[in-house]
Structure 1
Amino acid sequence: MRYKKRKYFMAGRINLLQRSKIRELFEKARKMKNVISLGIGEPDFDTPGVIKDAAKRALDEGYTHYTPNAGIPEFREAIAEYYSDFYKIDVHPDNIIVTAGAYEGTYLAFQSLLEEGDDVIIPDPAFVCYVEDAKIAEAGIIRIPLREENGFRVDPDELVETITKRTRMLVVNYPNNPTGAVMKKQDVKALADIAEDYNLYILSDEPYEHFLYEGAKHYPMVKYAPDNTILANSFSKTFAMTGWRLGFTIAPDQIIKDMIKLHAYVIGNVASFIQIAGITALRDSRSWAGLEEMRRTYAERRKIVVKNLLNMPHITPFKPKGAFYVWAKIDPELDMSSEDFANWLLEKAGVVVIPGTAFGKQGEGWIRISYATKKDQLVEAMERMRNALSEI
């Protein structure tokens, strides 16, 4: 069957969205041979077997039907227990909604809190979905720069200067994608105080919370500003469950009710058997043993990448304390934009890296390297990069 050519009229909001440069480069690389991807941030580990077995049992036990919109009560209780056990935070299950990954959680937050006339402050650089979510919500977008000299953390003084009477929400994401930066306790407290003083909501996106190095710690924003925080989290990174699309959001009473209302019309509920597997992920020690293995492996790979980059010409890494990315600066003397450099490296060395401008204008002059890649491929990619850069 072939469709006749005709003119289609699309909703204007769709034309505002930009396709992810991360995906564009990834798809370009797929058409090439002998390419090593250090692009998309996806764990190369398999989901722990105990979690997969739990999903299989749940299917056999009949978990194939609708659940409450907010999620299975026992699962929400398990999430609340997790925050109590790990962080000594008292979260009520009624303030939790189970979402299709942290992606849906951020989308629900933008749609529930923002509209035309509101402004949202989004760091620059930042993960790609925040700006696009703001566009769909018809909100004004204010970018606040993350600076190398400040460890790519939000500067509280600069934040205060950015706030206006239209400002309704601030987005933070630590451990950070793309820079690998983490926030110190005083940073979190300072942002929490500002949110309370200026009546702002903070959307805190925290899927990399367990990937920390050199003694770094994670401080959930909800602990310090519970009445102002919408916390989005995911099972994708912690338990290598990217394809399962399982996450959750914690928010104050009225906001969580509004998010559940919208969620009911977007997806209804996350698949029931996947929620049952989520309970096992949180409560079974074997799931956490898998995380420890991942963390040790990423710590080793991080050292490999940083050490190699320090010994290459024309590129300088920012040493990350979290996530599984290295944010690296391109030598200005090369006179190449981030995008040109990424394309040059793909053509010259067969290595995929992400141009910094995929994450905002402040990313110009930088690239993101993911080390969620097998060690032998990572070593080979570093050698290819070194050889290519040495020829310039």
Structure 2
Amino acid sequence: MMVAKRVRSVVPSKIRELFEKASKMEDVISLGIGEPDFDTPQFIKDAAVRALKSGETKYTSNLGILKLREAVSEKYKKEYGLEIDTNEILMTIGAYEAVYLAFQALIDEGDEVIVPDPAFPCYINDAAMIGAKSVRVPIKEENEFRLIPEDVNEKITRKTKMLITCYPNNPTGGVLKKEDYKGISEICEDSNIILLSDDIYEKIVYDYKPQCFKKYYDKTIITNSFSKTYAMTGWRVGFAVAEREYITPMLRIHQYVAACLNAPAQEAACEALRSDQRCVERMVNEYRKRRDYVVKRLNDMGLKTILPKGTFYCYPNIKSTGMSSSQLS
């Protein structure tokens, strides 16, 4: 079988492998994939139904429907004081596509991309597909899984093109301090590299107010989605926010990869942003209860686990078991 060289460098996802195994087993609670177990709030589903019934089923603008991009712009103005033009927002098929487009549009073969370790697997594989090198920066338990600016600085070379961050962090649940945001931004500016901030867990936080890298550094690409915040993983609604010099080449690829996001899902996402956010608060409150219970139980079992300040993950230290993560899974 003739397989393209770029595909041979892509490693199959262990997360998906475990997900498929668990789906075929009886009486198993699958913890193999990052998905809310809540249903999408009814008012969001109702908006999609209204769109279907009113004939909103055609192609949309490649960027996405204007009122949704306006709602995204309003969100960043309200929450972070940022002025985002609607032409600096690209609606994508989940945050997955937004990250993929950034790599395809802005990274060349031989470039280096700095990635926290551990990290979501798509960053490593998106780099591999275009022949770029992933340079890993360990995020450590003793630092509560923060990405330390000095550690980033040590990894920068003349080939470095981009830094990836994901905070609140998947898979550790760690968060950054304000000085981390500032320090990392200053390093990126001094080195003239792109900062891609994957912010899909920004609303799932506990006694913590997230910052936004774009407040500190213009060459930031925000990738985000509705999947985790609104329990909309299957809807596949995401977006990228960046200056036009980045959005324009990303859009050029998006036109031929996806053309546009499906119209009813965009209408539903607009309703999600512009309606009462108590549904998000209720889900986060439930996650908090589960977090407290799980972390206590793991620590009682002798598996040291730091209390996460974000996401719906925890990251136990399993060294005492003598097993690797794959063996334990």
TM-score (norm 1): 0.82
Question: What is the CA distance between 1:12 and its match in structure 2?
Answer: 1.3
User: Stretches of 4+ moved more than 6 A in 1?
Assistant: none
The answer for the alignment partner of 1:318 in structure 2 is 306
* Worse-matched range after superposition: 33-42 or 289-298: 33-42
Q: Which residue of 2 aligns with 1:228?
A: 219
Secondary structure of the corresponding residue to residue 315 of structure 2: strand
Secondary structure class of the residue paired with 2:172: coil
1:252 and 2:239 are equivalent in the alignment: no
**CA positional deviation for 1:149:** 1.3
| 2:279 alignment counterpart | 290
Query: Deviation digits for residues 32-68 of structure 1, max 9, x if unmatched?
Result: 2221222211011111111111111111111111111
Residue 239 of structure 1 aligns with an amino acid whose one-letter code is Y
Report what 1:373 is aligned to.
none
SS where residue 89 of structure 1 aligns?
coil
Structure 2 stretches of 5 or more lacking a match? Answer: none
Distance 1:238 1:30 in 2: 24
Find the aligned partners of 1:335 and 1:273 in 2 and give their Cα distance. Answer: 49
Aligned ranges for residues 91-240 of structure 1 at < 5 Å?
A: 91-213=84-206, 215-225=207-217, 227-240=218-231
Identity %: 49
- Alignment partner, residue 289 of structure 2: 300
- Matched with 2:327 is 340
**1:287-329: per-residue Cα shift (whole Å, max 9, x none)?**
x12111101100000011011111113x211211000001001
The residue aligned with 1:277 is 268
Q: Which residue of 1 aligns with 2:40?
A: 47
1:93-125 CA distance string (max 9 Å, x none)? 110000001000000011111011211001110
The CA distance in 2 between the partners of 1:97 and 1:133, in whole Å, is: 19
Cα deviations by residue, 1:166-190 (Å, 9 ceiling, x for unpaired): 0000000000000000011110011
Note the C-alpha offset of 1:330. Answer: 1.0
Q: Which has the larger radius of gyration?
A: 1
Q: Deviations over 1:152-209 (max 9, x none)?
A: 1111112111100000000000000000000111100111111111101011000100
C-alpha distance in structure 1 between counterparts of 2:219 and 2:47, whole Å:
35
SS for the counterpart of 1:36 is: coil
RMSD between aligned residues: 1.0
Q: Work out whether 1:22 is the aligned partner of 2:11.
A: no
Q: Please give the alpha-carbon distance, in whole angstroms, between the structure 2 residues aligned to 1:49 and 1:341.
A: 38
Distance 1:41 1:117 in 2: 31
In structure 1, runs of 5+ residues without a counterpart are: 1-7, 343-392
Alignment partners' CA distance in 1, 2:250 and 2:270:
22
Code of the residue aligned with 2:18 in structure 1: it is L
* Alignment-derived partner of residue 382 in structure 1: none
Residue number in structure 1 paired with 2:26: 33
CA offsets per residue over residues 221-276 of structure 1, 9 Å max, x none?
11111x21000000001111000000110011111011111100000000111111
Please give the secondary structure, in 2, of the residue aligned with 1:120.
strand
